[in-house]
Structure 1
Amino acid sequence: LTCSAGSEPPCVFYFGPEANLQLPSTRDSYCIASGDDTVCYFIELGASSAIVRLKMAPNRNPPIKYTQLFINNEFVDSTSKKTFPVLNPATGAVIAQVQEGDKADVDRAVKAAQGAFKRGSAWRTMDASKRGRLLNRFADLIERDKEYLASLEVLNNGKPYEEALFDMDCSIDCIRYYAGWSDKVHGKTIPTDGNYVSFTRHEAIGVCGQIIPWNYPVLMVCWKLGPALTTGNVVVLKPAEQTPLTALYCASLIKEAGFPPGVVNVIPGYGPTAGAAIAAHPHVDKVAFTGSTEVGKLIQEAAGKSNTKRVTLEMGGKSPLVVFDDADLDQAAEIAHGAVFANMGQCCCAGTRTFVQEGIYDAFVAKARALAQARVVGDPFDQKTVQGPQIDKEQYSKILDLLKSGKDQGAKVECGGDAMRGCNGFFVQPTVFSDVRDDMRIAQEEIFGPVQQILKFKTLDEVIERCNATTYGLGSGVLTKDIDKAMMFAQAVQAGSVWINCYDATTPQTPFGGFKMSGNGRELGYAGINEYVEIKTITMSIPEKNS
């Protein structure tokens, strides 16, 4: 089988009903060698056996093209020449040595960003519509290379390939959404007392530090870059030390897209050095952070002690998902399962506290147990796998400690409850706890792993009070056929997002952020744009009003 001339994967082939096709398994793959590259495909059957689709398969050994710092549109070594190891969490093996940025390198990146932002620069004088075209070009390049990026993400992050591909599509959507806003961010003309005319301008803040996490590396790059660049800011971005590879490749696409030098700079390194330098830098005008609450507090403190820079924090959560007894039981169990186990449980808004009304509690627990037991854990490049490894040994050990705590405090292990045996990587068994009490550690602390805690409740008022009895307030969900009950919950729960009869339905158009210690400020939607602009009021005296 070959693709028709000029076509690109996925290719579709049509055969008449008389064709006697001997097809391999849909899980098998084959490869085509072309010059120095080898492209692999999976066979997929369409709705009719007369249709065969070739779907590009993951590359188990994607070339690692960039391991240096990206400053002023060039890849350069760190000042110290130090490097740090980057691991494959599925095996624990070192896959790359990446240049380690520190304070001196952050200084270099900030100077490059300041140069790009200075008055009269190519970036400052660029039409807003052209900024949008550059962002659309960046999105096009991600789309062009999304299979490579997904494979690199799997290698470095450990998430299953299909999830990584989905993240690429979400990243593309995010950048295109913000590209559309580039020439639509504007101020207002304001009626004032006296003989004056007043209007506002929404202006770029300046140099924006961005510190992104390891759980969604490319997606978080795009969540941060989209609103910052569409409003004309410049960026110094630090990827997580566990997962710098795809962020560095995205930097190469920024250059290829045509962004001027210094607009985006990427400094891989450790939080206490490179991250702290960004947060405390006197010439960084804003810092946006996604990560743990503990680190977020340090960033806010450093920002206040330096130049009181603006801070956006998207931090931890212990999000509740409430299942009322009138909900469709099968659908509720599926939604609750996905709310916890997606991305190996490494999601800040994961619905980790599953509150189930007492009338359906036992039946729900049985379905939750069956779903968890059916999860295929293993090689994230294998198309059958739905759960890969945790990101690193530190996170793996934290999860195991909390699993032990749950058992010691009397929660019932329905399934799982331990590490996967016989694996070299950081694999944890899909775990379901029942008979969980609010005072247990597993019901209070963010686990960030494939662990579902199921709690029993009786009434709406009771469950609202228990949902809010936490220091966090990021996500929440409610599953019910009663719209009045759903809206009462939505108005009363202390969370930045409430999902009704769904969970984690996050889109580029809708604001995302938390209450309480889950953070401040918002990402996504137009609210995300507001985090990257200063509002300037301009008032002019006039001889006489006409209205």
Structure 2
Amino acid sequence: MLDFQMVVGGQDRAAENGEWIESTNPFTGRPWARIPRGTRADANAAVEAAAAAMEDPAWIALSASQRGALLRKVGDLILANAERLADLEVQDNGKLKAEMLGQLRYLPQHYYYFGGLADKVEGAVIPSDKTGMFVHTVHEPLGVVVAITPWNSPLLLTTWKLAPALAAGNAVVIKPSEHASVSMVEFVKLFHEAGFPPGVVNVVTGYGNECGVALVEHPKVAKVAFTGGDAGGRAVYQSAAKSLKHVTLELGGKSPNIICEDADIEQAVKGAVSGIFAATGQTCMAGSRLLVHEAIHDRFVESLRRFVSAAKMGDPMADDTQIGPVATLPQFEKVLSYVDIAQGEGATLAHGGRAYSGPGCEEGWFIEPTILTNVDNSMRVAREEIFGPVLSVIRFEDDDEAIRIANDTPYGLAAGVWTNDLSRAFCYTRALKTGTIWVNAYRVVSYAVPFGGYKQSGIGRENGQEMIKEYLQTKSVYFNLEKEVPNPFVLR
């Protein structure tokens, strides 16, 4: 059993109450590490450390170019430590080593990108209609930012918040999921190694209702950036609204992956697999609703079933493993319960649907990749986010019906469209109410491309040039160039 500490003000910190939370390896089902069970006092200490950093010349007196240099150095350190950090993430959340190592090796690009963007944030000289006035704007950091991140891709989704927040000059307190905190506390140490002053980057571990709430409620916090489920997002939004904090929310999805009758079936099958069975379905952008044109429905489902049947389940550390375990025991039980709910509502189990304990998977939380057919869009399995390897297949007759079904959801995070007709593809991209649309692809993200949702899938965007403005506030400055002040009783 390994013990890991929080990082507050540049120092390792145990929980004030001395208590711990065990982290369980989803592949073995056994505890392997402990993290501090942070309290309100620990949360307050982290915010105070971040607030102090926002008054410290060692941070606030740095030029934007100097901040960018620090971020680029972090990128180099992440690359040097990618293997070690990926191993920690796999033990924490059970995702494939191949995926987590790929994410870690790509992560430096985010810090190079926002490091380069740090000194490209420019104010403006505004031609004013007020004669005798010289007017300009400047952009300044918000202050203390709290980043609350989930267990499925902790370092990647934290980076989506952390890189632009630091490029803009803020100080950050990270609250990772209690199910995946180990890689985070080791990750944060790289920022101090790179030369960031103490308190600029902090991490508090523990439960949301014990230390997470305290972070959101703290009066010195200017912004909360949250990734997680819609219920958690609503709670964060309501709490942050009490003190009018800035908020970015990247929430859940029930994303449609649409297969038109002219699609390349072989490639579209791969796209369906990528949409829902990659990462064991534990991704907010999962293409969990597969809309298939009735003309190819049966052939497509059979091809998909054969493809999935050959997928190798097993040790997520192994190079040839394609599907790993579900990350937590409660999630494992939840996913299986939805399979029962779906069949109770009339869906047909076409493949999987059971716990798996085959060779090499005897101890972990494995679920067979599950395909449900005869799903109606009104069923719970088609409307509620499951966050597991469960695919709901829905027939459609024509493009209008596909668009109607696709948009008939409270979510709007992502969508996929598979067609060889360019005009049809453009029609879909215009009609679908979702933040990201892939045409003949699925589950592709970039540090340079905005990501976020419509409707209940969130507020704001992450990644891309515009993202840095989510962590800045604008100040307008008027210089009076005239010697006389006109009538003081009248608005100028």
Whether TM-score is above 0.5 comes out as: yes
**d(CA) in 2 for partners of 1:528, 1:394:** 34
Correspondences of 1:66-465 after superposition (within 5 Å) = 67-118=4-55, 121-195=57-131, 196-305=133-242, 307-421=243-357, 423-465=362-404
**d(CA) in 1 for partners of 2:111, 2:306:** 38
**d(CA) in 2 for partners of 1:487, 1:296:** 32
Shift of 1:260: 0.2
The alignment's TM-score, normalised by the length of structure 1, stands at 0.86
Other structure's SS at 1:433 match: strand
Asked whether the equivalents of residues 486 and 500 of structure 1 are also in contact (C-alpha less than 8 Å), the reply is: yes
Asked whether the equivalents of residues 274 and 443 of structure 2 are also in contact (C-alpha less than 8 Å), the reply is: no
Deviations 1:288-314 (A, max 9, x none): 000000011000111112x21011100
Asked whether the equivalents of residues 171 and 223 of structure 1 are also in contact (C-alpha less than 8 Å), the reply is: no
**d(CA) in 1 for partners of 2:247, 2:239:** 10
Deviations 1:384-436 (A, max 9, x none): 21111111111111100101112222222221011113622111101111221
Asked whether the equivalents of residues 161 and 381 of structure 1 are also in contact (C-alpha less than 8 Å), the reply is: yes
Other structure's SS at 2:165 match: helix
**d(CA) in 2 for partners of 1:457, 1:393:** 35
Shift of 1:527: 2.5
**d(CA) in 1 for partners of 2:428, 2:305:** 27
State the partner residue of 1:54: none
Asked whether the equivalents of residues 170 and 219 of structure 1 are also in contact (C-alpha less than 8 Å), the reply is: no
Higher relative contact order (CA closer than 8 Å, sequence separation 6+): 2
Deviations 1:109-166 (A, max 9, x none): 1111111101x52100001111111111111111001111111111111111111111
Q: Which runs of 4+ in 1 moved over 4 A?
A: none
State the partner residue of 1:539: 478
Other structure's SS at 1:123 match: helix
Correspondences of 1:518-533 after superposition (within 5 Å) = 518-533=457-472
Which of 428, 437, 443 does residue 489 from structure 1 map onto?
Answer: 428
Other structure's SS at 1:122 match: helix
Letter of the 2:373 counterpart: S
Letter of the 1:504 counterpart: R
Asked whether the equivalents of residues 258 and 418 of structure 2 are also in contact (C-alpha less than 8 Å), the reply is: yes
**d(CA) in 1 for partners of 2:390, 2:102:** 23
**d(CA) in 2 for partners of 1:491, 1:203:** 35
**d(CA) in 2 for partners of 1:403, 1:371:** 20
Asked whether the equivalents of residues 93 and 328 of structure 2 are also in contact (C-alpha less than 8 Å), the reply is: no
Shift of 1:188: 1.4
Other structure's SS at 1:531 match: helix
**d(CA) in 1 for partners of 2:281, 2:159:** 21
Structure with greater helix share of residues: 2
Shift of 1:99: 1.1
Letter of the 1:385 counterpart: T
The alignment's TM-score, normalised by the length of structure 2, stands at 0.95
Asked whether the equivalents of residues 290 and 391 of structure 2 are also in contact (C-alpha less than 8 Å), the reply is: yes
Asked whether the equivalents of residues 124 and 136 of structure 2 are also in contact (C-alpha less than 8 Å), the reply is: yes
> Structure 2: which 5+ runs fail to align?
484-492
**d(CA) in 2 for partners of 1:243, 1:509:** 26
Shift of 1:543: 4.1
Asked whether the equivalents of residues 430 and 451 of structure 1 are also in contact (C-alpha less than 8 Å), the reply is: yes
Other structure's SS at 1:400 match: helix
Deviates most, 242-251 or 97-106: 97-106
Shift of 1:91: 1.3
**d(CA) in 2 for partners of 1:371, 1:407:** 23
**d(CA) in 2 for partners of 1:231, 1:143:** 23
Letter of the 2:476 counterpart: T
**d(CA) in 1 for partners of 2:50, 2:122:** 24
Other structure's SS at 1:86 match: strand
State the partner residue of 1:501: 440
Asked whether the equivalents of residues 26 and 327 of structure 2 are also in contact (C-alpha less than 8 Å), the reply is: yes
**d(CA) in 2 for partners of 1:72, 1:406:** 49
**d(CA) in 2 for partners of 1:537, 1:504:** 40
Correspondences of 1:40-79 after superposition (within 5 Å) = 67-79=4-16
Letter of the 2:463 counterpart: L
Asked whether the equivalents of residues 82 and 100 of structure 1 are also in contact (C-alpha less than 8 Å), the reply is: yes
Other structure's SS at 1:209 match: strand
Letter of the 1:466 counterpart: I
Letter of the 1:193 counterpart: D
Letter of the 2:4 counterpart: T
Asked whether the equivalents of residues 372 and 432 of structure 1 are also in contact (C-alpha less than 8 Å), the reply is: no
Other structure's SS at 1:107 match: helix
Deviations 1:83-122 (A, max 9, x none): 111110111111112111121111111111111101x521
Letter of the 2:425 counterpart: A
Deviations 1:301-330 (A, max 9, x none): 11112x210111000000001111111111
Asked whether the equivalents of residues 332 and 365 of structure 2 are also in contact (C-alpha less than 8 Å), the reply is: yes
> Structure 1: which 5+ runs fail to align?
1-62
Shift of 1:170: 2.6
Letter of the 2:461 counterpart: R
Alignment RMSD (CA, Å): 1.3
